[in-house]
Amino acid sequence: MALPPGDQTTSKVNEERSISSVLFIIAMQKEASPLVDKFQLAEQSDSLFPEGVPWMRYSGKYKDLNINILCTGKDKTLGVDSVGTVSASLLTYASVQALQPDLIINAGTAGGFKAKGASIGDVYLVSNVAFHDRRIPVPVLDLYGVGSRQAFPTPNLERELKLKVGKLSTGDSLDMTPQDAALILANSATLKDMEGAAVAYVADLLKVPVIFLKGVTDIVDGNKPTSEEYLQNLAAVVAALAKAVTKVVDFINGKTFSEL
Ligand code: ADE
């Protein structure tokens, strides 16, 4: 079936190829650490990337898979994680070029909408991503701004692991303006993050399949201040995310794309 422009599946892959290398794109060190431990990955201080970038790479073999976890790293001046779309797209571009992975997984935390069924601690598999803060009210450029893309379809993974599935909307702010809210609603999103659609854009450019796993740290349409709720739940949600990601990686191990 032909998809409308701006809503393309992110890649055209040889479905019968087995998956041997997985690249994780993770914005926050806290989100990555339990996975680095679980997969017994080693920090690499090699020169894959230009000198001075804060990006962190952890790699190793887990079961039959070569796994690389890439983090955007700490901002050089402020010492905080380099969250948001700019860092995520640069890191995705550079690491795909350097590592040529079979599959990208963008894992992290997100806000969730209780009106769409999200609860704190849920881990979602994302079906579709789009932006909510790129408003360009000019014909066709409006669609470019929204940048809607589908994740690689994984019906067996979804069924076997009984994962919740929802759409993700991405913007560069943790808070939500009324305009953001209207566009998130238009995107039919259950989840709101700060990287997903940017990772999807680069994956689409470079023709690498991508899936997204997002743990809900805060309820966007609830009555608690987002940043407080986010910080309160971060540790527990990161643990739940790591558990779900491990199950997903165990499922992917030894499979072809068509078996996902
Ligand atoms: N990550 C975790 N919670 C978020 C939210 N409410 N908005 C954007 N990114 C998030």
Is residue 65 within 8 Å of 251, Cβ to Cβ?
no
Q: What is the mean pLDDT of the chain?
A: 94
- Residue 193 Cβ inside 6 Å of ligand 1? The answer reads yes
Q: What is the pLDDT at residue 172?
A: 98
Question: Residue 109: CB within 6 Å of ligand 1?
Answer: yes
Report pLDDT digits (tens) over 224-244. 999 999 999 999 999 999 999
Instruction: Write out the DSSP string of 109-132.
Output: EEEE-GGGT--TT-EEEEEEEEES
List, in order, residues 6 or more apart from 246 with CB less than 8 Å away.
Answer: 35, 38
DSSP-derived pairing of the beta strands 123-131 and 210-219 = antiparallel
238 Cβ inside 6 Å of ligand 1 = no
Q: Which of 81, 133, 204, 218 is catalytic?
A: 218
- Indicate if 31 belongs to the active site: yes
226 lines ligand 1 (CB under 6 A): yes
The CB density around residue 97, as the number of other CB atoms within 10 Å, is 11
- Residue 51 pLDDT exceeds 70: yes
ipTM over 0.90: yes
Residues in the chain, overall count? 260
Cβ-contact 73, 54 below 8 angstroms? yes
- pTM (two decimals): 0.94
Task: Give the pLDDT score at 118.
Answer: 98
Residue 125's DSSP bridge partners are 165, 213
User: What are the tens digits of pLDDT across the range 104-159?
Assistant: 999 999 999 999 999 999 999 999 999 999 999 999 999 999 999 999 999 999 99
Among 117, 131, 36, which Cα is nearest to 89's? 131
What average pLDDT does range 85-103 have in this prediction?
98
pLDDT at 15 over 80: yes
Q: Of the listed 15, 31, 64, 75, which one is catalytic? A: 31
Does the pLDDT at position 17 exceed 90? no
146-175 pLDDT, tens digit each: 999 999 999 999 999 999 999 999 999 999
Is pLDDT above 50 for 6? no
Distance from the alpha carbon of residue 4 to the mean position of ligand 1, in angstroms:
28
Supply φ then ψ for residue 181, to 5 degrees.
-60, -40
